Structure 1
Amino acid sequence: MELRGKLQEILRDIEENYLPSVSLDLVVFGFHESQLKVLLLRFKDSNDWILPGGRVRKDENLDEAAYRSLRERTGLDRLFLQQFHTFGNVNRMTYFSREETLERMGLAEAAAGLWDSTYWANRDISVGYYALVDFTGTVPTPDFMADECRWWDIAEVPHLLFDHNEMIRLALRTLRRQLSYQPVGYNLLPETFTMTELQSLYETILGRSLDRRNFYKQILHYDVLERLGKRPTIPASKAPYLYRFRKERYEQLLNDEDLSVG
């Protein structure tokens, strides 16, 4: 009865306070040790993995709902977050039916009779967002419907439920396209970094090597970096310069959709 009571409470809250048939899915990228990671949730009492996400409250804007969901999953707030696609195919939720999903999670008996409302459609339109976060600063947090929330190497992502593998592929493609006209890295690198470390980030996202001279030219074109002193732990003659992002300029460029590199 305790589990059934909890489900009743959750479903009643969703039905009263959230929009029907509209959901959010978050492709949360993190960068660590030259590897690009993505955050996944493991469904309760199963070996099935999905992207983190949530629903939209009736009294909040879409972006506000996405930031809230991101905060609940990572413990971080107001990071780089961008809408990249809306997923609305008729069969996008048919990997498992609602009943099959509950059965796999061991919740079928507890949920019996709780899904009869016309609020609960078998099809959701999902708005996809991708986020860039500091891997070391996150606290991955599962919700009531999940047993685990952790980082996966982008090359080792398992077969996910629903259309979530396609979401990751499209989010990564969008992120790669972004590199051609906007800077990336503010939320993926430590506060200070070398140009080599920044280039390594770009190469990891793109999945290919970059010419050092052309990369430096493109980055300096943005006028978004502040050069600091040399790294103190290395002899001065060999030490690389450290850089940090100029936050105001960085945010200005993110808002300038017409920026392009010649």
Structure 2
Amino acid sequence: MEYKKELERLISDLKTNYLPSVSMDLVIFGFHDGQLKVLLLRWKETDDWCLPGGRIRHEENLETAAYRSLRERTGLSELFLQQFHTFGDVIRYKNYSREETLTKLGLPDEALKEFASRDVSVGYYALVEFAGVTPTPDFFAAECRWWDINQIPLLLFDHNDMITLALKTLRRQLSYQPIGYNLLPDKFTMPDLQQLYETILGQPLDRRNFQKRMLGYGILERLDERKTGGAHKAPYLYRFSKEKYEKALADEILFVG
């Protein structure tokens, strides 16, 4: 009974305060133990997963709504956020038919009228530090957790396509902008940074060329301390210069090959 009342309240709120037929979906990337991960939601009473997302309030800018939804799912407010595509196919039920999808969702008729109509979705990808995230499900989800990029299950709607395109866009970003400030801890080693790039690109990089290139961009500060708990000649720790990093993002002049 409590669930039904809350659902009725939510539907009324959506009809009154949110834009109809326009939504956003979020591909939230994190990096942990050498693996690139994506944050997914599992619908209540099902074993089916999808990307987090939401609708846009009448008084909100689109980007403001995306940041709000990210904050609700991760607990973080300062994130790298990039719009990467608008998904507007007439049929957006890819892995499962419309009928199969609606059956899986298990929503009552009044909810299906609101959620089963055609939506145009704006896709965003975000880069977050894994350790700082508190995965938080929304009203319709029973679970919110990380999945390895190589182990993503069949998702509802066209969300597998969204992840594939977001990853392609992220890889292209490496050709003109730095990556790492939002994915690595404050202090990291050069091997840590190289592992991140190799994981995103899906291919090895030459160690000397990579280090020379990264140092040449002027966005890294080498600290007077080394990584503890390793070999005798443990690697130095680095951190990003936030000011120089943000300038590099704005200038779009970097290239890693």
Note whether the superposition's TM-score is higher than 0.5. yes
* Match in the other structure for 1:5: 5
- Equivalent residue runs for 1:1-262 within 5 Å: 1-93=1-93, 95-97=96-98, 101-108=101-108, 112-113=109-110, 122-231=117-226, 233=228, 238-257=233-252, 259-261=253-255
Task: Pick closer, same or farther for the CA change 1:58–1:253 going to 2, 3 Å.
Answer: same
Q: What displacement does 1:114 show?
A: 5.4
CA distance in 2, matches of 1:174, 1:114: 34
CA distance in 2, matches of 1:153, 1:67: 23
Deviations 1:153-194 (A, max 9, x none): 110000111110010010001111111111100111111111
Task: Pick closer, same or farther for the CA change 1:101–1:234 going to 2, 3 Å.
Answer: closer
Task: Pick closer, same or farther for the CA change 1:12–1:230 going to 2, 3 Å.
Answer: same
CA distance in 2, matches of 1:233, 1:115: 55
Task: Pick closer, same or farther for the CA change 1:52–1:115 going to 2, 3 Å.
Answer: closer
Confirm or deny: 8 A CA contact 1:230 1:239 kept in the other structure: no
Task: Pick closer, same or farther for the CA change 1:114–1:242 going to 2, 3 Å.
Answer: closer
Confirm or deny: 8 A CA contact 1:26 1:52 kept in the other structure: yes
Unaligned runs of 5+ in 2: none
Worse overlay, 148-157 or 245-254? 245-254
CA distance in 2, matches of 1:236, 1:139: 33
Unaligned runs of 5+ in 1: none
Task: Pick closer, same or farther for the CA change 1:202–1:220 going to 2, 3 Å.
Answer: same
Q: What displacement does 1:242 show?
A: 1.1
Q: What displacement does 1:103 show?
A: 3.7
Letter in 2 for 1:47: D
Worse overlay, 216-225 or 78-87? 216-225
Q: What displacement does 1:78 show?
A: 2.0
Letter in 2 for 1:132: L
SS in 2 for 1:184: coil
CA distance in 1, matches of 2:245, 2:238: 13
Confirm or deny: 8 A CA contact 1:93 1:123 kept in the other structure: no
CA distance in 2, matches of 1:137, 1:168: 22
Task: Pick closer, same or farther for the CA change 1:124–1:236 going to 2, 3 Å.
Answer: closer
Confirm or deny: 8 A CA contact 1:50 1:161 kept in the other structure: yes
SS in 2 for 1:140: coil
CA distance in 2, matches of 1:213, 1:59: 51
SS in 1 for 2:138: coil
Letter in 2 for 1:162: F
CA distance in 1, matches of 2:152, 2:93: 19
Letter in 2 for 1:36: L
SS in 1 for 2:40: strand
CA distance in 2, matches of 1:26, 1:170: 12
Q: What displacement does 1:234 show?
A: 5.9
SS in 2 for 1:255: helix
Number of residue pairs the alignment of both structures matches: 255
CA distance in 2, matches of 1:125, 1:46: 25
Q: What displacement does 1:3 show?
A: 2.8
Task: Pick closer, same or farther for the CA change 1:230–1:46 going to 2, 3 Å.
Answer: same
Q: What displacement does 1:218 show?
A: 2.1
Confirm or deny: 8 A CA contact 1:20 1:120 kept in the other structure: no
